[in-house]
């Protein structure tokens, strides 16, 4: 059995072993398992059936992650993206008024477009157009973003209103929460435990931290005990399966321009979210190395194809974009280097159908410390950026700072591209910058103007 795994996933070649990969997969799954319950909670606000979305989320995650495991052989897991699910629910179906079947059509089309972009090597050209200092900036920005997500999930950072006018919060700002709350205390305890484990170089430190923190949360009243009272192994996906409404989408009264710009927004958000994750996490771990001629490694090209397939798969079953998960960085940090990590995650997604009440017991306070510390490990790339050269410093700064402040990886990359094009023009160094940067800088500006 071990020989089969070694041969299939090339473990020795990637300087890893079965135990490390399995542990990394378990750690990744524990860090992202919350999406099983969060995604249907968000999407059901559009009128979608909660149980159907729950089943669709798991099934799409299994299929897409298996594609990543066996086709690309890299340690990335896929599931419904939180940011993209929010875009689906609160913007496309909420403020813009699309029905959820029409929104699924937008997701499907964006997946097809990203697939075409990938197989025609345009996505490859986009990646190779990003210079090394921007890659470092993306890594740092994602690190800050992950840390910010962890602090919010832990409840340590909350949003307070400076004033309330007609029932709405005015001037909402992030603030330090009351640290006496049990859930926040648990997150701080988990943070301390995980740091101690890391300092002692304990194998599986992140996973151990999650498990120990979860157990400590029981007497604190933060970790709930399993509830099997309303347990169903696999609800029917019939209410959402293949409910894509192309006809309704293109008959929208707001006009085709609005439809196309909405598709473009979804497409770009999905594309650059995944590109950012691959560059940010893959570069640090040495998974993806671009040679001197700008050629991408085959596993990165395959990973990008697997990612675009995930979006298509998700829309068919009835969920928002199924995309490469930022939490994959947790498994990579734990030593995951091959598709065996992804395969492990896919298997655990399948098993979650039988043990979902137990998985639901893991509180966000137990996961948050890991995210905070992963962000810390990614921040080191900031030293590789030449801050004395404004041609480099300006776009790098905006790439880094916008990601956490705008709560969007895509927005950080967009601002980075725009300011990179701007400084190139001002400094008369346009020949040193790929034309792709200028094309996307213009598209991003148009997106903000039209929106």
Position 184 scores a pLDDT of 95
CB–CB of 322/79 below 8 Å? yes
Packing angle of the helix pair 50-67, 298-317 (nearest 10 deg): 160
Position 5 scores a pLDDT of 81
Q: Evaluate whether residue 168 is within a structural domain.
A: no
Q: Evaluate whether residue 369 is within a structural domain.
A: no
Sign of the CA dihedral with 122 first, then 327, 99, and 240 last: positive
Q: Evaluate whether residue 159 is within a structural domain.
A: no
The DSSP letter of residue 370 is H
**Residue 393 to residues 182, 246, 248, 302, 406: CA-CA distances in angstroms?**
42, 44, 46, 32, 19
Residue of 274, 252, 239 lying closest to 110 (CA atoms) = 274
Q: Evaluate whether residue 177 is within a structural domain.
A: no
Rg of the chain in Å (alpha carbons): 21
Position 287 scores a pLDDT of 78
| Burial (Cβ within 10 Å: 0-12, 13-18, ≥19) of residue 286 | exposed
CB–CB of 319/240 below 8 Å? yes
Position 169 scores a pLDDT of 55
CB–CB of 284/381 below 8 Å? yes
Q: Evaluate whether residue 153 is within a structural domain.
A: no
Q: Evaluate whether residue 430 is within a structural domain.
A: yes
Residue 401 sits at the vertex; the CA angle it makes with 28 and 324, to the nearest 5 degrees, is 25
74 torsion bin: left (phi>0), alpha (psi -120 to 50), beta (else): beta
Position 167 scores a pLDDT of 55
Position 291 scores a pLDDT of 60
Tell me how many domains the chain contains.
1
Q: Evaluate whether residue 193 is within a structural domain.
A: yes
Q: Evaluate whether residue 408 is within a structural domain.
A: yes
Cα 278 to chain center, whole Å?
10
DSSP 313-356: HHHHHT-S-EEE-TTHHHHHHTT--SHHHHHHHHHHHHHHHHHH
Whole-prediction pTM: 0.77
Residue of 193, 233, 449 lying closest to 353 (CA atoms) = 233
Position 162 scores a pLDDT of 66
| Residue ranges making up the domain that contains 275 | 8-147+186-226+237-362+374-450
Q: What is the mean pLDDT of each run of 10 residues along the chain (451 residues)?
A: 79 90 93 85 89 92 96 93 80 84 94 89 79 86 85 86 59 79 95 94 84 94 83 84 92 73 81 81 70 67 90 94 87 91 96 81 87 83 92 96 85 92 95 92 84 59
């Amino acid at each position: 059995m071990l020989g089969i795994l070694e041969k299939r996933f090339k473990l020795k070649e990637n300087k890893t072993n079965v135990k490390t990969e399995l542990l990394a997969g378990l750690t990744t799954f524990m860090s992202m398992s919350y999406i099983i319950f969060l995604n249907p909670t968000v999407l059901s606000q559009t009128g979608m059936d909660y149980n159907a979305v729950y089943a669709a989320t798991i099934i799409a995650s299994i299929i897409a992650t298996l594609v990543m495991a066996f086709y690309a052989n890299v340690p990335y897991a896929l599931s419904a993206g939180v940011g993209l699910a929010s875009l689906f629910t609160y913007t496309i179906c909420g403020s813009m008024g699309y029905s959820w079947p029409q929104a699924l059509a937008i997701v499907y089309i964006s997946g097809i477009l990203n697939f075409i972009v990938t197989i025609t090597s345009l996505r490859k050209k986009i990646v190779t157009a990003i210079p090394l200092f921007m890659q470092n900036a993306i890594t740092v920005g994602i690190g800050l973003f992950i840390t910010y997500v962890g602090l919010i999930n832990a409840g340590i950072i909350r949003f307070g209103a400076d004033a309330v006018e007609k029932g709405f919060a005015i001037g909402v700002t992030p603030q330090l929460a009351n640290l006496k709350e049990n859930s926040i205390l648990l997150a701080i305890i988990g943070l301390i435990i995980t740091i101690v484990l890391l300092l002692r170089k304990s194998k599986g430190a992140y996973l151990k931290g999650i498990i120990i923190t979860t157990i400590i949360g029981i007497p604190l009243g933060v970790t709930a005990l399993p509830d099997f009272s309303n347990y169903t192994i696999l609800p029917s996906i019939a209410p959402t399966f293949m409910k894509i409404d192309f006809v309704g989408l293109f008959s929208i009264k707001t006009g085709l321009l609005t439809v196309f710009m909405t598709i473009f927004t979804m497409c770009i958000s999905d594309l650059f979210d995944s590109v950012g994750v691959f560059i940010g996490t893959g570069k640090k771990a040495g998974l993806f190395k671009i040679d001197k001629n700008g050629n991408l490694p085959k596993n990165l090209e395959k990973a990008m194809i697997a990612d675009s397939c995930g979006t298509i798969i998700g829309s068919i079953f009835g969920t928002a974009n199924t995309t490469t998960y930022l939490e994959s960085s947790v498994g990579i940090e734990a030593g995951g280097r091959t598709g065996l990590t992804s395969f492990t995650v896919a298997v655990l997604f399948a098993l979650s159908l039988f043990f979902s009440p137990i998985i639901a017991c893991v509180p966000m306070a137990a996961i948050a410390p890991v995210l905070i510390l992963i962000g810390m490990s990614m921040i080191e790339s900031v030293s590789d950026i030449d801050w004395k050269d404004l041609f480099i410093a300006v776009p790098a700064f905006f790439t880094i700072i916008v990601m956490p402040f705008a709560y969007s990886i895509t927005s950080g990359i967009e601002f980075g591209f725009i300011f990179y094009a701007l400084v190139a023009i001002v400094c008369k160094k346009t020949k040193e910058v790929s034309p792709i940067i200028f094309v996307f800088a213009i598209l991003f500006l148009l997106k903000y103007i039209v929106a």
